Amino acid sequence: MFESTWGSLKQYQCPDWFRDAKFGMWAHWGPQSVPMAGDWYARNMYIEGNPQYNHHCRTYGHPSEFGYKDIVQLWKAENWEPEKLIDLYKSAGAKYFVSMAIHHDNFDLWSSTHHAWNATKIGPKRDVVGEWAKAARTAGLRFGVSEHLERTYSWFNTNKGADTSGPYAGVPYDGNDSSMVDFYIEKHDDTSMCYPDNPGDVWPQHWKSRILDLIDQYQPDLLYTDGGVPFGEVGREMIAHLYNNSVQQRGQLDAVYAVKNPRRHEGNHGDYVDGFATLDVERGVVEGIAEEPWQTDTCLGGWFYDSLRPYKTPETVIHMLADIVSKNGCLLLNATQRPDGTLDEQSEWTVKEIGKWIEVNGKAIYETRPWKQFGEGPTAFATSTKAESEARQFTGEDFRFTAKDDTLYAIAMGKPSRGGWLIRSLESEKVSTASVLGTKYTNWRNTPEGLWVESPTKWPCEHAWSIEIHTD
């Protein structure tokens, strides 16, 4: 049994299912999608002069009169078909699926025992987590949940403010309504974006009760916390419960706890020590091959739907996947949903394009392990958290390596410029066979500079190409 100490929690070992899965999809979706104005709406709509505040005033009225409590009533999810979306994600190659269970907005997306402001009673009046879980498991996918509640106490406290100028100067926002304290939380001074500085004893215990309820009801294969471990002993008690519950239900530790390393972040983002959980890197990658499996979480566009936000291309996502897997990681990708529950045309197209690539190249991804080096070539993804936009265009000289048993895969990240690829990392290896996945014949040869592989006469896919290699 796990205890709520770092020493006990460091008995954690990442389950093989996650080590093998490599690719998952995420529904980072909830009532903040309603305005279709981007991320962190529930916080920013109460910050005078913020673009989302301006959008809110133009669209709904001043937050003293029409607040977030009213936004959640507008979220109907009227066209949401979880089975259809899960089938799409499975066809794209996802091996696990994660449902957001609660964001910083204090609105539970499940049949919450401890919080009346939840999706079964307000808005869509559906058990969002439960329906996602049923659809995912029916399709044979592992199921996870994400919780972002730990920061709510401070993050959501902007609703207690008031304008400092203009016609509503001094008029309190609706979060000051004492009858709404169960949703808007009691008034205090902390409005940071990080973990609350002085949450007292009540909020950490309330957080734990809700997250334990989530675990006990849905038995997730993966739980993601949006930061480090919150609230000291209370947070460690939650983790011990997750692990012990998994052991009791399945006879062994089969659950993954994914948590962001706060050393990669500024400010107060909770506790972290090596070895107690699986590392998550938000919108970034690790520098080299990690000893233990880890995860990147990122999104096609914004975290919440924003019609003006540019989207990642299929090529970008595929290159990220190859890079992450070569470093012993998994990619968790959010396909941003409209408030009605559907994907827009670009998101759906991108997901399908990923699936086309996976159909040809899946052998180089699933159940693989890192090779002696993750890759070669002049181009790299940025390794700092939230720095993925700094990535450069890959070339025909860039490769990422994966291995399975006695097979090596070299994933070429670009087309060659001179009729073939030269893989310099294989200059000391004697290759016995080499073939481009998805083709019938590949011309190749060993050279003093490395393995030379001729370009296919007909390209089997787009964006990147996997070369299956055996050595003597």
As given in the structure block, the two tokens for residue 308 are 């003006």
Considering 232, 252, 282, which residue would you say is the last residue of a domain? 282
Which CATH number fits the domain that encloses residue 131? 3.20.20.80
Contact 451, 444 (CB under 8 A): yes
Number of domains in the chain: 2
CA-closest candidate to residue 122, choices 132, 133, 112, 134: 112
Residue 277 pLDDT: 97
397 & 274 share domain? no
CA-closest candidate to residue 331, choices 26, 29, 87, 39: 26
As given in the structure block, the two tokens for residue 251 are 């006879």
Express each pLDDT in 26-80 by its tens digit: 999 999 999 999 999 999 999 999 999 999 999 999 999 999 999 999 999 999 9
Does a structural domain hold residue 325? no
CA-closest candidate to residue 14, choices 290, 405, 272, 385: 290
Does a structural domain hold residue 288? no
| 316 Rama sector, left if φ>0, alpha if ψ -120 to 50, beta otherwise | alpha
Residue 397 pLDDT: 97
277 & 382 share domain? no
As given in the structure block, the two tokens for residue 47 are 């910050």
Q: How confident is the model at residue 382 (pLDDT cuts 50, 70, 90)?
A: low
Does a structural domain hold residue 77? yes
Expressed in percent and rounded to 5, the helix, strand and coil fractions of the chain are: 30, 20, 45
Backbone angles phi, psi at 149, to 5 degrees: -75, -25
Q: Is the pTM of this model over 0.85?
A: yes
111 & 214 share domain? yes
Considering 259, 282, 305, which residue would you say is the last residue of a domain? 282
Which CATH number fits the domain that encloses residue 407? 2.60.40.1180
Residue 331 pLDDT: 98
Does a structural domain hold residue 453? yes
386 & 278 share domain? no
Residue 330, classified by CB atoms within 10 Å of its CB into exposed (0-12), middle (13-18) or buried (19+), is buried
**Domain range for residue 278?**
6-282
Does a structural domain hold residue 32? yes
Q: Is the pLDDT of residue 387 over 80?
A: no
Does a structural domain hold residue 399? yes
274 & 403 share domain? no
* Region 360-375 average pLDDT: 98
Mean confidence (pLDDT) of the chain: 95
Express each pLDDT in 177-191 by its tens digit: 999 999 999 989 888
Query: CA angle, corner 298, sides to 232 and 459, nearest 5?
Result: 150
**Distances in Å between the alpha carbon of 29 and those of 101, 107, 342?**
9, 11, 11
Express each pLDDT in 212-236 by its tens digit: 999 999 999 999 999 999 999 999 9
Does a structural domain hold residue 250? yes
| H-run or E-run covering 240 | helix 233-250
Express each pLDDT in 445-466 by its tens digit: 999 999 999 999 999 999 999 9
* Region 350-363 average pLDDT: 98
261 & 401 share domain? no
Sign of CA pseudo-dihedral 106, 110, 116, 119: positive
* Region 253-265 average pLDDT: 84
Considering 247, 282, 317, which residue would you say is the last residue of a domain? 282
274 & 423 share domain? no
Does a structural domain hold residue 225? yes
Contact 87, 132 (CB under 8 A): no
Q: Is the pLDDT of residue 442 over 80?
A: yes
**Distances in Å between the alpha carbon of 263 and those of 75, 235, 371, 386?**
36, 18, 27, 13
Q: How confident is the model at residue 83 (pLDDT cuts 50, 70, 90)?
A: very high
166 & 38 share domain? yes
259 & 384 share domain? no
